Amino acid sequence: MIAASVTAASRPILWNIPLGLVVYMYAGMVVALAIATWGVWRRVRIWRLGKPEVRTDHWPQRLQRVTVDALLQRVVVRARAPGLAHAALWSGFVVLFGATLVVMAQMDLGLPVLRGRLYLWFVSLAGNVFGLLALLGVAFALVRRYLVRPPGLERREPADALVLVALLLLLASGFVLSGLRIAATHDAWQGWRPVASATASLLAAWLPADALAPLHRYTWLGHVTLWYVILAALSYTKLLHMGTVPLAIYFGNLRPGPELPAIDFEDETALETLGVKTALELTWKQLLDLDACTECGRCERVCPPHATGSSLSPKRVILGIRDRVRADAAALRAARAAQTRGQPDAAALREALPALPDVVGQDALWACTTCRACEATCPAGIEHVRLILQLRQNLAMEQALLPEGLAQLPRQLELRDHPFCGVPVDRHAWFVEAVAAEAGAVVAHGEEVSR
């Protein structure tokens, strides 16, 4: 009997929802998906402007990185409190999305899956528990960002606050919606939904019985509308990182150090621009990295030059270039199209684009020690150092803009055949003098030891 009753466990789909609202649900989904898809396409169009780069080799290793770093949040949870909160939010939405797919499979495909143990253990119990975790994760993010306000955490975009509030309301309204249904129908399986069941008890105590069904209908309408607003805004807000971060991790550099592309000095076309001057010299992966940044500030907090008061901030390097690329998207597309078609104005259009070294700042670029601490701590797998080195390449090799100390090295090599100032020009004499000085130091040290 118990096994049979568990097998029969289920719930009505779209209880208390009239046909008009069902039509609204499907129409709204189409509109929201269309808006979100257009936003994604806007980003993809920018990535396609980048130079080609092979990042599809060793796919098993890349898939493993995505599983560990993106799905299991290995890098994210290194920052204990915010990392665990983000992991709770992420896992909550994964489980809730899975539960929604189960409902859709039965409602739209006619598959009898919303019943039995799958319904009780996954849709009901896991959905409730992980939904609560997601709710707590969003609440923690709001408190940390706007009340605790740790340094380095970006608060410049009002959309960030709106997204967090919308997610909080979406999760909370989901519990209220489920609680209203349970209170109105006296669901026999409500014990498998502990949070919704507690909500149902509160609502039943506060509201008259005849108000439950109408309030359920209005709550459903608000819940669905809010979900469509979030879905439509997905590719226009920081929520885009749910797609770009796994992509950036998958296509990340598998080698131990940043590999700068070799410059073929025999190829005149390769010498048109040395290093990276404009966004047209970036690869598609570097353009993807710009959209993968979540502005968490971890790279900035571990950067040694930034800690000593330098103007360098790995986060600001990425965000500054990202903002510039987004602002110049139309000009970039026009310049790339002219270059591809061989139009006479291609060079002029390219020269009119902003110089990225100027966007970042020369002092900031030369302050980088290339320690790659920023890359090690970045949860999005962004490759800061290679970008910085390519910007420095352009400053040094094309614009001849070097810091004073560094600028003396090639000058001394040209004038004296060695990089040192104040020593003989003759390399042989310099070598003999250096060896003699070293030998004298060794003899002196031996005499000191013998005494």
Render pLDDT for 276-312 as a digit per residue (tens, 0 to 9): 999 999 999 999 999 999 998 999 999 999 999 999 9
Distance CA 119, CA 180 (A): 19
Is residue 257 included in any domain, yes or no? Answer: no
Same domain, 377 and 236: no
Q: With bands split at pLDDT 50, 70 and 90, how would you rate the model's confidence at 449? A: very low
Same domain, 145 and 181: yes
Same domain, 38 and 177: yes
Domain end residue (candidates: 250, 283, 307): 250
* pLDDT computed for residue 450 by the predictor: 52
Helix axes 329-341, 19-47, angle to 10 degrees: 60
Distance CA 451, CA 448 (A): 5
Helix axes 314-327, 329-341, angle to 10 degrees: 70
* pLDDT computed for residue 79 by the predictor: 87
| Average pLDDT of the residues in 159-180 | 95
- Which residues, other chains included, contact 419 with Cβ-Cβ below 8 Å and sequence gap of 6+? 408, 409, 412, 413
Helix axes 158-185, 127-143, angle to 10 degrees: 150
| Average pLDDT of the residues in 362-385 | 94
Q: How far is CA 399 from CA 261, 332, 396, 404, 444, in A?
A: 19, 22, 6, 14, 48
Of residues 449 and 233, more confidently modeled: 233
Same domain, 118 and 243: yes
Same domain, 67 and 209: yes
The domain of 194 spans 2-250
User: Which residue has tokens 């975790």?
Assistant: 133
Nearest one of 185, 222, 224, 225 to 204, comparing CA atoms:
185
Task: HSE, CB side, 13 Å, CA atoms: give it for residue 75.
Answer: 21
Burial of residue 147, with CB atoms counted within 10 A of its CB: 0-12 exposed, 13-18 middle, 19 or more buried? exposed
Domain at 334, CATH number: 1.10.1060
Distance CA 241, CA 322 (A): 14
Is residue 263 included in any domain, yes or no? Answer: no
Among left, alpha and beta (phi > 0; psi -120 to 50; other), residue 150 is: beta
Is residue 27 included in any domain, yes or no? Answer: yes
* pLDDT computed for residue 266 by the predictor: 66
Same domain, 313 and 440: no
Is residue 14 included in any domain, yes or no? Answer: yes
Same domain, 331 and 292: yes
Nearest one of 78, 133, 147 to 296, comparing CA atoms:
78
Summarised one tens digit per residue, pLDDT across range 170-179 is: 999 999 999 9
Name the domain count of the chain: 3
Summarised one tens digit per residue, pLDDT across range 403-434 is: 876 767 766 776 666 666 665 556 666 667 76
Q: Would you list the DSSP string of 178-202?
A: HHHHHHHHT-TTGGG-HHHHHHHHH
| Token representation of residue 379 | 């949860």
Is residue 260 included in any domain, yes or no? Answer: no
Same domain, 318 and 426: no
Same domain, 169 and 309: no
Q: What is the pTM for the complete model shown?
A: 0.86
Same domain, 285 and 200: no
* CB under 8 A, 24+ apart: contacts of 62-69: 62/250, 62/251, 62/252, 62/254, 63/250, 65/249, 65/250, 65/252, 65/381, 66/246, 66/249, 66/250, 69/249, 69/379, 69/381
Same domain, 105 and 29: yes
| Token representation of residue 150 | 């740790």
Same domain, 234 and 293: no
